[in-house]
Structure 1
Amino acid sequence: MPDITVLRTGAHGTPMSEYAAALRDRLPEQDIALARTPADERELVADARVVTGCDIDEDLLARAQELELFAGAYAGYEHLPLDAFQSRDIAVTNAAGVHAPSAAEQVLGYVLTFARSLHEGWRRQQNREFRHYQAYELKDSTVTVVGLGAIGQGIVKRLQGFDVDTIGVRYTPEKGGPTDEVIGFDDKALHDAFARTDYLVLACPLTDTTRNLVDREALDTLPPESVLVNVARGGVADTDDLVSALRSEDIRGAALDVTDPEPLPEDHPLWSLENVVVTPHTAGQTPQYWDRLADILATNVPRLGTDEELRNRVA
């Protein structure tokens, strides 16, 4: 039976064969099996020390009697049966950092799009309309990044050289960060920061603290020339409040890679607002995804059974 079992499907139903191949390159001494059917999964997890994939239900987990590590292929892990893992002392890791470069680059693209009003230029191109419009400069702006994990830090790094002021928001502000200023989720500190923010970037997990963080009160606090950028989860911003603020131009615009609901229904008003850019949850997509994910697991397999901390351990 295999040492490592790769479950059959990845994000959006994509096959995991590329991931399995990357693991075989990095771990040639390990027997790595790719499950191609549900029956394969049930058989191949039985004696595997490591199972890796996007999801696993409790029935399949119960069959994995020798399991020491579940290596999640997503950055998010709230969908996993964490209590069941904990009760059996099975380690869980995630894919945090794998898509940090692509997500950070996408954020920079959004910010520059609104700084130079490129979305308006694109619209006028479609109409073959050669007429000037208002553009801005990113220089001397204040960018607030909510979440200073791998993606948030990648965003801040890429903003260096643009002569902007940066504010970071994290649960533990005493840890500091790469931004000019770091604050916590205290309402007063947060709204003081929002009041001087030109670009508000959401790059945080969806938790009880961050759910609907950008609500009517927050949107009223942001300056009218500000832009919201969301590559976190749709639920971090209250959709109804956001639509209202965009319609009334209480903020200048929004770039949304994630929405609530998702997928965004065809008749949703966000599609038709000219001050909104919507992309279909593509910030994390990168050709390097499986190679980077395989690097994490290749680092962790030799650490199993030792006192070394597993990379990206979340449970």
Structure 2
Amino acid sequence: MTDPTLLLTHRLRPDTASDLYAELDGHLPDGGLARARTPEEAFELLPGADGIITAGLSEEMLDAAKNLRWVQVLSAGVDRYDRDALEARDIALTNASGVHAEPIAEQVLWFLLTFERRLHVGVRQQSRGVWERFEGGELRGKTLGIIGVGAIGTRVAELSAGLGMTVIGTKRSVETAPAILDDCFPADDYREVLRRADYVVLACPLTDETEGLLGSEEFRLMPSDAVLVNIARGDVVDEAALIRALQNRLIRGAGLDVFSTEPLPPASPLWNLSNAVLTPHMAGSTPHKPGRWREIIVANYDALAAGTLDRMVNRIV
């Protein structure tokens, strides 16, 4: 039996593809790994690919991949992929859930500490050469609410609990909630979390159900001194409503790594709001990603070779 061919497509960033190719080399059978650097190379190699690793999948690519049985993406989010089309063709879709949990959780902790200790005030004063004393608070004893307790949300909960915070959250299956949570609610009860939390972290995937999950009504439910942290997807929040909530101090602040339009347009009011702290969708960055990707990819390649696609790690479709 011929070993499956796994193709790294041209849709991956060149540096990402190079690092991942080097990481996978020696962990797959000889001839089992191929790389396309250009669209022309991709469409030449796609017909013979059993699996692909990609950062996007056009209809033309899908049509060209006649033997395709598996699509691996390197992100946790899969909102850009036509899951119905893949399911109709009996093609498995797997993501990289868990790979980004540590760096994102650490960045969430930075957002929490930034607002609690008012570090952003100090940084902005430093940039102006101003010495003005201000007071900071403590996270211990505060309540953190996590909307979507998956791999990332669980790690956020662990780090926050270590600082003495009370941690509550939502999960589709409450029965599988991690023990670190002090309380867990069904996904539909997310407003109860908003009402009770001093800090709210959005860690849910972007789906039809979560698009626009937080809008004007939800911001009015939150305590006026609450802070929102979004490391999920920009469209989970009604961005215009968030801007109004920040401008009118309906909530104390927001730490944002994701936005409805990326890069964030220069005209966005978010740039100049004193109660918004922004980072350019980099919370998941870490030098350890290639090794963590490899563990998932090799396990899924082995499942593909054995014909046991139901045993793939992080299977979405």
TM tier, smaller:
over 0.9
1:146 partner letter: I
Aligned to 1:278: 278
Q: Secondary structure at the match of 1:213?
A: coil
Is 1:49 the counterpart of 2:50? The answer is yes
Q: Secondary structure at the match of 1:281?
A: coil
1:219 partner letter: F
Q: Secondary structure at the match of 1:195?
A: helix
Aligned to 1:287: 287
Q: How does 1:107-256 map to 2 (within 5 A)?
A: 107-177=108-178, 178-186=180-188, 189-256=189-256
Aligned to 2:12: 10
Q: Runs in 1 of length 4+ with deviation above 4 angstroms?
A: none
Q: CA offset at residue 28 of structure 1? A: 4.5
Distance 2:209 2:85 in 1: 25
Q: Secondary structure at the match of 2:181?
A: coil
Cα RMSD (Å) of the superposition?
1.8
CA shift digits 1:38-66 (9 cap, x unpaired): 11101112112221111222222222222
Distance 1:233 1:273 in 2: 20
Q: Percent identity between the aligned chains?
A: 38
Distance 1:196 1:81 in 2: 36
The answer to whether the Cα contact below 8 Å between 2:161 and 2:167 also exists between their aligned partners in 1 is: no
2:160 partner letter: L
Distance 1:255 1:295 in 2: 31
Distance 2:65 2:227 in 1: 47
CA shift digits 1:261-302 (9 cap, x unpaired): 322110111100011101110111111222211221101111
Aligned to 1:27: 28
Moved more, 142-151 or 126-135: 126-135
CA shift digits 1:129-182 (9 cap, x unpaired): 222113111010000001111111111111122111111112222332331100
The answer to whether the Cα contact below 8 Å between 1:148 and 1:170 also exists between their aligned partners in 2 is: yes
TM-score by length of 2: 0.93
The answer to whether the Cα contact below 8 Å between 2:27 and 2:298 also exists between their aligned partners in 1 is: yes
Distance 2:240 2:264 in 1: 13
Aligned to 2:259: 259
The answer to whether the Cα contact below 8 Å between 1:8 and 1:15 also exists between their aligned partners in 2 is: no
Moved more, 1-10 or 70-79: 1-10
The answer to whether the Cα contact below 8 Å between 1:26 and 1:295 also exists between their aligned partners in 2 is: no
Q: Secondary structure at the match of 1:259?
A: coil
CA shift digits 1:175-194 (9 cap, x unpaired): 323311000233xx433332
Q: CA offset at residue 15 of structure 1? A: 4.9
How many residue pairs end up in the alignment?
312
The answer to whether the Cα contact below 8 Å between 1:58 and 1:84 also exists between their aligned partners in 2 is: no
CA pair 160-30 structure 1, distance change in 2 beyond 3 A = farther
CA shift digits 1:78-124 (9 cap, x unpaired): 32232332222121111111111111111011001111000001111
CA pair 299-225 structure 1, distance change in 2 beyond 3 A = same
Contiguous gaps of at least 5 residues in structure 1: none
The answer to whether the Cα contact below 8 Å between 1:57 and 1:81 also exists between their aligned partners in 2 is: no
Q: Secondary structure at the match of 1:26?
A: coil
Distance 1:185 1:138 in 2: 25
Q: Secondary structure at the match of 1:214?
A: coil
CA pair 67-191 structure 1, distance change in 2 beyond 3 A = closer
TM-score by length of 1: 0.93
